[in-house]
Structure 1
């Protein structure tokens, strides 16, 4: 671990990344706010911080809280944790009328060489002693538009995205960049670098701005070390180039040259090929991705079963189509549309034969335009996994996507699903966790999804209902509903289902489920689910796999197998994960189920 993430004083160690305080190796308990204050003070290494500075940093200057008492309480709890006598403090020093400073920080055992972290990306990943080094984690914040021209927002977005992707592809063993979906959450944020760093466990943040002076464009970037929020590198790049594409190429290449000692010819080719021809097309694509990510990160079976609307999918399609209208040769636009058609099948809106052939054609078009595009390899691999049930070629496709962009979270996530479905659970769990580390805000719940797929339902319940973990995205509640039902905790299953639906604005359905539960228990809820699905099938497409699941949950095997065989004939997408579907577990040893499983994938199993 880099030494600037560990702050030592006396016999204490403050581990900023792990958010832990230890004394002689033993954990010292400290609540969130006192811990935030301790990290803030200790990271300044003796610098005086005024009470106003602390309040602004920890409370963002909120006028709605009793910050004086809150600060006094936090100071008192820190002193208790450190056994620091207020009358004769060794560490936390009160400067009367001014503020506080933290004394006694020990020097780091080794001087950190920040520039070498990036310059030595071609060096071996192991240290001289043979110990593997942890990859440095960096976030590229959305660039600030200082031009006064709102039309330049798309160029600012493209700059940040391309810099992030370029740096992430240099050497993933040494440098991991956080994905754009998480970075976008911090646009115009009031949070400090330190707060963002603690939330995402970052080592460095890169921020930039775009300004205009006459005909010249000025791009300013600076690199911040998160441990002490010190600027360790900056560059001002001025360009008289008028074309947006040329400007992007010039600026991103110059930045990469400065941060890395060499940029191989292959990387230069990849950079030139990946840049968008039209920043407005790229802007439309990014907006489409925002809505696609927001909806695709629901549990597909739960969403289809409860008929959760696909408005965000429709909005994503509109933006992807707009990107291609701006630039018909823009390969990323084709990958976005391919993902849209595939996802609307998996989430239950259209039949497999109506969606997957279109998704395949679009992915192949993207590959023809750009054979090196990671998103195109991922899109085609998704078709092979969900529709062809060709796991060998699907795995090869995911690996090709990740070889070209090891920091591509969606590829890690879908590859993880394939690995778990193929019985390679340790590999799948690792891939799920990596997806969540790369894009922690967009992928909240990825770990829970992996646990449910692996059949570790008790772990999901224990981990996500632990104290301090009560506010989750809809995906986690959708997964908890499944975990509770499998564990026969039916009251909790109803509550989790209602919570998930209410977070998806499905209030009427949530009320009906609660009424069914109160009137007739969980059997009444399950029977209502089945009646709802059968009625829905008369008015719009409804996957036969959903009906098979409903009969399985009601323990009616004859009807279950009938609808399973119908789903097999239709090539229902989620059948590729039949072996991990908890509703069919009681019938898995039967010959009839094994016969169905024989038709579904499996050649990726080791």
Structure 2
């Protein structure tokens, strides 16, 4: 636009717009605004009072360029921020659902020769922020969809607004009164944006609360939580706490900041879901843990069948709020849909809800729901991954509620089907690796799958956790410690991971460190059975028999008679010279075996403690025939030291292919 003799201005309330100098002034002070947002403001002012269709607005602002609607949405948000609109009430730019926008303020047009004096003061320090047009395939923000009203409350229909975090807020404040050149302003804005981006390096998605719904819809909250964790974990620039880490925060009225501090993260995403029939309302906020400052907040109203669009938008907006720079593959994973069948998705949510209970009954219920999901959508890769997880863990339970010979092959088949559909599923790679390590003893195949899982999702704590077992079984103890500590870094409150840090020290024969770590875990939960058991087991290797037996007896009590805990106690009795007590345990296990399953490895353990080597080897052979997962640790387990010099032991280790490579065994 060229200069005119008489300047043309727009004024409304506290604002004045100079189209020639491209200034937005509020009470005489320049406001930061991107060039395209300024263009949008001018077009809206020219069509004030009327509805401006989205397509018409985009053609006016980007006349020779094909752009995504997301660009318009983002610049509308920037404009609203500059005008001081609140998230819940738009005073100036109002969205017309399904159509476009309307500028509703009373506007005056002025021709003012003297206005030069007003604006010239600020012309050298005006705030115009460069922007980078995003013409790639971004996460689509379904603006029309998310502005549909929720019909449940009967109150005033709400209009959902999509707002971007004001990442230039600090820049705008610094530039007030700044009299340096425009180039310096631009450089300052970029510097501050980078600073904002570096402020958040870790976050947690807390369990979404289900408001005003029946208890049987609790899975909706967990489903939203799990989906967002999965999506955001695909972004390598930020560490996201896994689902297991946030499970304890399901209590209504949770303190988000306290949870964030306990989880040791920089930010927390917290929200709730309200459902009424087929309508849902999702309210969500992202908060800085350091100072409680809100980084972003929004309310979404939609049909339940459009919940995928809500998840897309939340993920995208969180990434923008944290000023994360996403590569193409990350953008795709951030808004990836694994199914479009809403009933299949609901079944999957219920499956994950029960899987997260980590109980025998929970795994069984999870399998039922994952299979229901696959009946609806046979190409639902995540449902196959859920099946693989469920069968793998069900077949590994100490009481073998499902024979390993059935559970593990089913887990492998499910994982392979998931990967045929979608090779990028980290969970499926980890489950397949678990089966290959724990059941098939395919060591090269297991390591390949573990590495691929970690490559796809470096924040997947379970992959690091299981890979640590692979490494220690191969005698690579230093690497195993590094891997388990990486899992602990991702999920610092996980009881099982914290316990297994101690177990890695145990297999490395660093017993004092193992004891220290088990005690730290018990500070988190004094009755966590595995930590109690590992503490007793480590005491035993140090010759602290009295302390060992006390902890192992407590473990049997806490586990309500689990066979593996009972067998460890029997071994401890034998090593401590309490042979009669050890034989009683052996007799008890054999009696139980008449009516239910007892793992052969557990019987071999008690015989090893009693120094009855023929019986110990006989039961180890039975464990081999069942492909017992316990055999993978034979070569590093101190409990096997009494058998290590026998040729039968070397032959067994060779057949399991668990010959370790670096760790010297002290007989």
Give the TM-score of the pair, scaled to structure 2: 0.61
- Residues 218, 238 of structure 1: 8 Å contact kept: yes
1:183 maps to what in 2?
246
2:417 maps to what in 1?
365
2:37 maps to what in 1?
none
Q: Does 1:337 align with 2:402?
A: no
Structure 1 pair 234/393, CA: closer, same or farther in 2 (3 Å)? same
2:209 to 144, 157, 178: 144
2:9 maps to what in 1?
none
Structure 1 pair 462/259, CA: closer, same or farther in 2 (3 Å)? closer
Q: Does 1:199 align with 2:262?
A: yes
- Residues 391, 604 of structure 1: 8 Å contact kept: no
2:397 maps to what in 1?
347
- CA drift of 1:510 comes to 9.7
- Residues 566, 585 of structure 2: 8 Å contact kept: no
2:636 maps to what in 1?
580
- CA drift of 1:594 comes to 1.8
1:474 maps to what in 2?
529
2:556 maps to what in 1?
501
The count of corresponding residues between Structure 1 and Structure 2 is 463
Structure 1 pair 240/531, CA: closer, same or farther in 2 (3 Å)? closer
1:448 maps to what in 2?
502
SS at match of 2:657: coil
Structure 1 pair 337/508, CA: closer, same or farther in 2 (3 Å)? closer
Taking the TM superposition and a 5 Å limit, the aligned residue runs for 1:149-548 are: 153-171=218-236, 174-210=237-273, 218-237=281-300, 242-273=305-336, 275=338, 277=340, 278=342, 279-292=345-358, 295=359, 310-324=360-374, 327-348=377-398, 349=400, 350-444=402-496, 445-465=499-519, 471-506=526-561, 522-548=578-604
1:305 maps to what in 2?
none
Measure the CA separation in 2 of the matches of 1:482 and 1:362. Answer: 35
Structure 1 pair 569/579, CA: closer, same or farther in 2 (3 Å)? same
Structure 1 pair 331/220, CA: closer, same or farther in 2 (3 Å)? same
Structure 1 pair 388/456, CA: closer, same or farther in 2 (3 Å)? same
Measure the CA separation in 2 of the matches of 1:390 and 1:569. Answer: 16
- Residues 221, 235 of structure 1: 8 Å contact kept: yes
Gap regions ≥5 residues in structure 2:
1-190, 663-667
Alignment deviations for residues 309-336 of structure 1 (CA, whole Å, 9 cap, x no partner): x445444444544544565443233223
Structure 1 pair 342/184, CA: closer, same or farther in 2 (3 Å)? closer
- CA drift of 1:206 comes to 1.6
- Residues 265, 289 of structure 2: 8 Å contact kept: yes
Measure the CA separation in 2 of the matches of 1:115 and 1:181. Answer: 32
- CA drift of 1:286 comes to 1.9
Alignment deviations for residues 571-601 of structure 1 (CA, whole Å, 9 cap, x no partner): 2222112112222123224433222211223
Structure 1 pair 144/485, CA: closer, same or farther in 2 (3 Å)? same
- Residues 291, 315 of structure 1: 8 Å contact kept: no
Structure 1 pair 379/291, CA: closer, same or farther in 2 (3 Å)? same
- Larger deviation: 233-242 or 407-416? 233-242
Measure the CA separation in 2 of the matches of 1:190 and 1:504. Answer: 31
1:571 maps to what in 2?
627
Measure the CA separation in 2 of the matches of 1:270 and 1:258. Answer: 18
1:594 maps to what in 2?
650
- Residues 559, 565 of structure 2: 8 Å contact kept: no
- Residues 573, 582 of structure 2: 8 Å contact kept: no
Alignment deviations for residues 524-546 of structure 1 (CA, whole Å, 9 cap, x no partner): 23222322333333333333222
Structure 1 pair 263/142, CA: closer, same or farther in 2 (3 Å)? same
SS at match of 1:232: strand
- Residues 345, 573 of structure 1: 8 Å contact kept: no
Q: CA RMSD in A?
A: 3.8
Measure the CA separation in 2 of the matches of 1:551 and 1:569. Answer: 18
- CA drift of 1:560 comes to 1.6
- Larger deviation: 432-441 or 241-250? 241-250
- Residues 208, 222 of structure 2: 8 Å contact kept: yes
Measure the CA separation in 1 of the matches of 2:628 and 2:563. Answer: 28
- Residues 154, 282 of structure 1: 8 Å contact kept: no
Structure 1 pair 115/452, CA: closer, same or farther in 2 (3 Å)? farther
Gap regions ≥5 residues in structure 1:
1-112, 121-133, 296-309
Measure the CA separation in 1 of the matches of 2:450 and 2:563. Answer: 40
Structure 1 pair 311/154, CA: closer, same or farther in 2 (3 Å)? closer
SS at match of 1:224: strand
- CA drift of 1:399 comes to 1.2
- CA drift of 1:604 comes to 9.0
Alignment deviations for residues 58-110 of structure 1 (CA, whole Å, 9 cap, x no partner): xxxxxxxxxxxxxxxxxxxxxxxxxxxxxxxxxxxxxxxxxxxxxxxxxxxxx
SS at match of 2:386: helix
Which one scores higher on RCO, CA 8 angstroms, separation ≥ 6? Answer: 1
Give the TM-score of the pair, scaled to structure 1: 0.67
- CA drift of 1:257 comes to 4.1
SS at match of 1:332: helix
Measure the CA separation in 2 of the matches of 1:184 and 1:423. Answer: 33
- CA drift of 1:422 comes to 0.8
- CA drift of 1:272 comes to 4.5
SS at match of 1:384: helix
- Residues 249, 275 of structure 1: 8 Å contact kept: no
Alignment deviations for residues 482-537 of structure 1 (CA, whole Å, 9 cap, x no partner): 222223333322321232233234499999989x979x973223222322333333
Structure 1 pair 539/511, CA: closer, same or farther in 2 (3 Å)? closer
SS at match of 2:595: coil
Measure the CA separation in 2 of the matches of 1:287 and 1:384. Answer: 26
Measure the CA separation in 1 of the matches of 2:207 and 2:308. Answer: 18
